[in-house]
Chains A and B, each alone.
Chain A
């Protein structure tokens, strides 16, 4: 055998599914979000999907679900491969109250379901992310049950939580109940686009992280969209 015969061919290798990053967006669609806020939010979400799809790894790794909450909580888009989502559905304002707790609980439930799907399929995955965005105050007590759930998961390293307030009416004290590690941040004006751009970069980072690496967020980039 000659030395030049010592070659490995691609057909002699195997492939495995890309590690997944499940991200649940829990979005307030109560009537106070009507008008420019909901339009900017929808535009930000669209850009978020586009940015993820443009990245070589994130487009295979990131899976995004959208939960909306007002009087009730609904799954507007369930987890699936980004390639199957041509364009994310626009969320619509509705209802007459802000059941923030129901939105968070539903988002946590579908994140849990998705992890089980990964486990059954033998797909490795990163810590799930929950992005919570609201412009008001909860109108029921359900958040008092949902908040300890997110904190327990976060404490156990099983969830990454981003609580984000929109506008002057957002109750930052309530948002602070959902994370012990991360202070809630208030969006600068209606800078949804900058926020989702930052979020997509963070997802790209985690989708390429290797065992033993900790999640490092671009704290400098936060200044582009948050009031600090």
Chain B
């Protein structure tokens, strides 16, 4: 005679917000940032969550649509190809991911009779597995911060050109070569982050010190919120804080997504 065995199960929760920058709002330009999360469950009970935040290029004619499409495509690819992204053959992963994104952009560009450069966008993405393994994909500005043992660490810093208005986009010819893939498999530290924050370049100035790589304490607060509140409440709080505090530090659009690991009781 035996009952179900109660075990603690780990799972990921997330919340995010995109807010148009003050300069865009003043000019009546819609927000050119976007974000997307994709969750997949495996038959063995493993959960994978992939989140991608994107900043559409200001000079691109369909930047808002570009950010939407790219965030969806990257999150979808990472959630389906987590192991491939983690594999030793990172060149294959980089080419497969960029190829998948470009395929969708080509369809949109073809329908609208524009070049795919019209959809130019940056990529800042993280995929996590319920066992704590993670992988990131990053191209262009924006950054990824992780919470490890209670402390915050810059996991992927902004990728910029020599000049402040130069960055990298997924529609660049050499995007697959430039895409930065990182993650638990590539790093020697034993502790896996139990929280991530991804954000676009509008928030860089307020959230990271470019010279020292120091991370703003505000991000620790945001992850704490996610530990103790519903995702809906945190999303609302993010929206309101970006609007009232964070975007005062920039004219640019602002997007921030936080992910935190939780535990719940399950049975085997």
Task: Determine if B211 is an interface residue (Cβ-Cβ < 8 Å).
Answer: yes
> A202-225 interface mask toward B, CB cutoff 8 Å, 1 = contact, 0 = none?
000010111111100000000000
Task: Determine if A19 is an interface residue (Cβ-Cβ < 8 Å).
Answer: yes
Q: Verify A127–B218 contact, CB threshold 8 A.
A: no
Task: Determine if B111 is an interface residue (Cβ-Cβ < 8 Å).
Answer: no
Q: Verify B167–A212 contact, CB threshold 8 A.
A: yes
Cβ–Cβ < 8 Å partners of B249 in chain A: 13, 15
How many B residues face the partner with a CB closer than 8 A? 46
Cβ–Cβ < 8 Å partners of A10 in chain B: 245
**The one of A12, A15, A125 that contacts B205, using a Cβ cutoff of 8 Å:** A15
Task: Determine if B194 is an interface residue (Cβ-Cβ < 8 Å).
Answer: no
Give the docked Cα–Cα distance between A4 and B208 (Å).
25
Cβ–Cβ < 8 Å partners of A13 in chain B: 206-207, 216, 218, 245-246, 249
Given A6-B229, A210-B58, A213-B58, A12 contacting B217 (CB threshold 8 A): yes
Give the docked Cα–Cα distance between A8 and B120 (Å).
31
Give the docked Cα–Cα distance between A206 and B166 (Å).
12
Task: Determine if B268 is an interface residue (Cβ-Cβ < 8 Å).
Answer: no
Give the docked Cα–Cα distance between A89 and B60 (Å).
42
Task: Determine if A158 is an interface residue (Cβ-Cβ < 8 Å).
Answer: yes
Q: Verify B225–A211 contact, CB threshold 8 A.
A: no
Q: Verify B233–A8 contact, CB threshold 8 A.
A: no
Q: Verify A1–B214 contact, CB threshold 8 A.
A: no
- Name the distance in Å between B83's Cβ and chain A's nearest Cβ: 32
**The one of A15, A122, A126, A158 that contacts B164, using a Cβ cutoff of 8 Å:** A126
Give the docked Cα–Cα distance between A132 and B233 (Å).
57
Q: Verify A211–B140 contact, CB threshold 8 A.
A: yes
Q: Verify B206–A125 contact, CB threshold 8 A.
A: no
Q: Verify A210–B165 contact, CB threshold 8 A.
A: yes
Cβ–Cβ < 8 Å partners of B4 in chain A: none
Cβ–Cβ < 8 Å partners of A19 in chain B: 164
Give the docked Cα–Cα distance between A15 and B248 (Å).
12
Q: Which residues, 12 to 37 on B, are CB-close (under 8 Å) to A?
A: 23
A12 to B, closest residue via Cβ: B218
Give the docked Cα–Cα distance between A7 and B237 (Å).
7
Given A122-B211, A126-B163, A213-B165, A14 contacting B216 (CB threshold 8 A): yes
Q: Verify B209–A14 contact, CB threshold 8 A.
A: yes
- Name the distance in Å between B106's Cβ and chain A's nearest Cβ: 20
- Count of A-B contacts judged by CB separation below 8 Å: 105
Task: Determine if B149 is an interface residue (Cβ-Cβ < 8 Å).
Answer: no
B120 to A, closest residue via Cβ: A212
- Name the distance in Å between A157's Cβ and chain B's nearest Cβ: 8
Give the docked Cα–Cα distance between A10 and B241 (Å).
11
Q: Verify A210–B237 contact, CB threshold 8 A.
A: no
Q: Verify B225–A126 contact, CB threshold 8 A.
A: no
Given A10-B245, A122-B210, A212 contacting B229 (CB threshold 8 A): no
Q: Which residues, 37 to 81 on A, are CB-close (under 8 Å) to B?
A: none
> A186-216 interface mask toward B, CB cutoff 8 Å, 1 = contact, 0 = none?
0000000000000000000010111111100
Q: Verify B165–A8 contact, CB threshold 8 A.
A: no
- Name the distance in Å between B44's Cβ and chain A's nearest Cβ: 35
Cβ–Cβ < 8 Å partners of B166 in chain A: 157, 211
Give the docked Cα–Cα distance between A114 and B221 (Å).
38
Q: Verify B221–A14 contact, CB threshold 8 A.
A: no
Q: Verify B216–A124 contact, CB threshold 8 A.
A: no
> A99-127 interface mask toward B, CB cutoff 8 Å, 1 = contact, 0 = none?
00000000000000000000001101111
| B→A interface (CB under 8 Å) | 23, 55, 57-60, 120, 122, 140-141, 160, 162-167, 169, 201, 204-211, 214, 216-218, 221-222, 225, 228-229, 233-234, 236-237, 241, 245-246, 249, 251-252
The 4 closest A-B pairs by CB, nearest first: A122-B211, A212-B57, A6-B237, A12-B218
10 contacts between A and B (CB under 8 A): A1-B225, A126-B165, A127-B163, A206-B165, A210-B58, A210-B201, A210-B252, A212-B59, A212-B165, A212-B167
| A→B interface (CB under 8 Å) | 1, 3, 6-10, 12-16, 19, 121-122, 124-127, 157-158, 206, 208-214
Given contacts A3-B229, A7-B241, A212-B169, 10 further A-B contacts (CB under 8 A): A3-B233, A6-B237, A9-B245, A12-B218, A13-B245, A14-B206, A125-B164, A210-B165, A211-B201, A212-B57
